[in-house]
Copies of this chain bind each other. A is one copy, B any other.
Amino acid sequence: MKLYDFPMAPNPRRVRIFLAEKGIAVPKVTVDLRAQEQLGAAFLAINRFATVPVLELDDGRRIAETVAICRYIEELHPEPRLFGADPYERAIVEEWQRHGEFDGFLAVAEAFRNATPGFKDRALTGQHGYAQIPELVERGRQRTLRFFEILDQRLGQNEFVAGPRYSIADITALVTYDFAVGTKQYAPAGVAHLGRWHQAVTARPSARA
């Protein structure tokens, strides 16, 4: 197997943390997003959606989507369980993993990509250019703030995002948090539970992946 990766991008980091939690090493191929390598013909032949990560299997088949890759890894290496251990837990992990993406990750991306000069005419991922829309900067920041408020309340009642156990929902939320802070779209304030949780998940060796 090999993983098409870019160190600075948040979605590949989700897979790297997932692999680190499983204790698995996968060789990496860097796709230089700063040089727009993902928009070149060679990479579009690998993934026409022009995104990383992509996992390539030894027989050449590919899985070109973050969570699909993680699920595949979970099937090959079930322990530790990062998608939940029984049907209800798996449903709640899925629910919060998806809230993390739709209400958190996409909100940060909306603020960041519409605010950042380097993403002019590439406000969305993919091979087609989309113009930046200034109103989306403030909307993205508001959505991010509101998502972290909900997450803070959730973490006041649960050790981890999906409940008592660390899961992929924590990985998505951690990467979203660091994406928001790292790109200065959000500065946490008055969110004690979120801070406690962030410290705990950041202390895990996988967070450096």
A17 at the interface (CB under 8 A from B): no
Contact segment of A20-28, A31-39, A90-98, A180-188: A90-98
Q: How far is the CA of A84 from the CA of B127 in the complex (A)?
A: 28
Total residues of chain A contacting the partner, CB 8 A: 37
**Cβ contacts A78-108/B at 8 Å (1 or 0 each):** 0000000001101110110011000100000
Q: Mark A186-202, 1 if CB is under 8 A from B, else 0.
A: 00000000000000000
**Residue contact B91 to A49, C-beta cutoff 8 Å:** no
B-contacting 9-mer, from A2-10, A62-70, A170-178: A62-70
List, in ascending order, chain B residues with CB within 8 A of A94's CB.
65, 67-68, 71
- The answer to whether A146 and B133 touch across the interface, beta carbons within 8 angstroms, is no
